[in-house]
Amino acid sequence: MPHKQTEHTDMVKNRRALTSFAWLSIGAALATIALKTGAYHLTGSVGLLSDALESLVNLAGAFMALSMLTIAARPPDDSHVYGHTKAEYFASVTEGLLILGAAAGIISAAVSRLVQPRAIEQLGLGLGVSVAASVINLIVARILRREGKARRSITLEADANHLMTDVWTSAGVIGGVAVAGFTGWTILDPIVAILVGLNIIWTGVRLVGRSVAGLMDAALPRQEQSLIQDVMEKYRQHGVSFHALRTRQAAARRFISVHILVPGDWTVHDAHHVAEDFESDIRAALGSVVTVFTHIEPVEDELSMEDMSLDR
């Protein structure tokens, strides 16, 4: 139908527009790598080195996000009739694994520095450079998070969460390195780096878990399930019943299938219009592109009850 075609066209344009934000993330990663690497060479701080290594992960993740967002923007074809939006989950899984790899490298470098402590040099200049890099990450993270939520892109949200993790860990690193430099307690520098690594591990595990749930066709979140029930309740008041409700999410796109039970004396014309109205109300309630599959059945027919657990 025309309105469904328009919604699909809008979705494709929406996904294509996301690639510009991936390029923004790439630019931010390149800038912060240069700044944080410079801060490390100025100070010799393993804490600042850990910050620079995380920015390398940001860059790899941003390139992965760009490639997957490009694939996700492709329209459905004969081999992928439901579209390519699940490609975004591969980007977020990859970024999660990269985060875990960066954490391992950070902790390894920090343990080595614990064994062989080293004085921190040119502290003021090095910290100033690191602060500048963190400001860049903060600005870009806020942009990506806003757009990721608005456009329902797990890839942009993953990138934003990674950058915000970078911002907070950078704040901890800068504070720890400053204390170590001013007090001469050089052991604080590798300890801060280890704490950064542990925090990054937690972020990576959560990100991978969320992405795997999407790849496993997890149901829509409870809040959206509640919105679906609210729409159903409106129709129940007019003698319509529902069963065999199934939901799943593929990045920005949601899929819902449900059986609609109507009085047996209704005409096909009347039942069809109820189904069309129900589908439109679901799309309006969830606020974005939703594919709704409905199946009409007579409520009085015993056979209608036999498929309540269909495909379960």
The verdict on 70 and 128 lying in the same domain is yes
> What is the domain extent for residue 258?
222-305
The verdict on 169 and 109 lying in the same domain is yes
Task: Say if 27 falls within a structural domain.
Answer: yes
Q: Among the three residues 190, 215, 240, which one is the final residue of a domain in this structure? A: 215
The verdict on 114 and 226 lying in the same domain is no
The model's pLDDT over 97-150, given as tens digits with 9 standing for 90+, comes to 877 877 777 777 777 767 776 666 666 777 788 888 889 989 998 998 888 877
Edge-to-edge strand order for the sheet containing 290-298?
A: 241-250, 253-262, 290-298
Task: Say if 28 falls within a structural domain.
Answer: yes
Q: Among the three residues 156, 183, 215, which one is the final residue of a domain in this structure? A: 215
The model's pLDDT over 71-84, given as tens digits with 9 standing for 90+, comes to 777 777 888 877 77
> Domain holding 278: CATH number?
3.30.70.1350
The verdict on 276 and 195 lying in the same domain is no
Query: How many whole angstroms separate alpha carbon 31 and alpha carbon 122?
Result: 21
Inform me whether the pLDDT recorded for 12 exceeds 60. Answer: no
Buried residues in 292-301 as b, exposed as e (16+ CB within 10 A):
bebeebeeee
68 or 131: which leads in pLDDT? 131
Taking residues 243-253, report their average pLDDT. Answer: 82
Domain count of the fold of the chain: 2
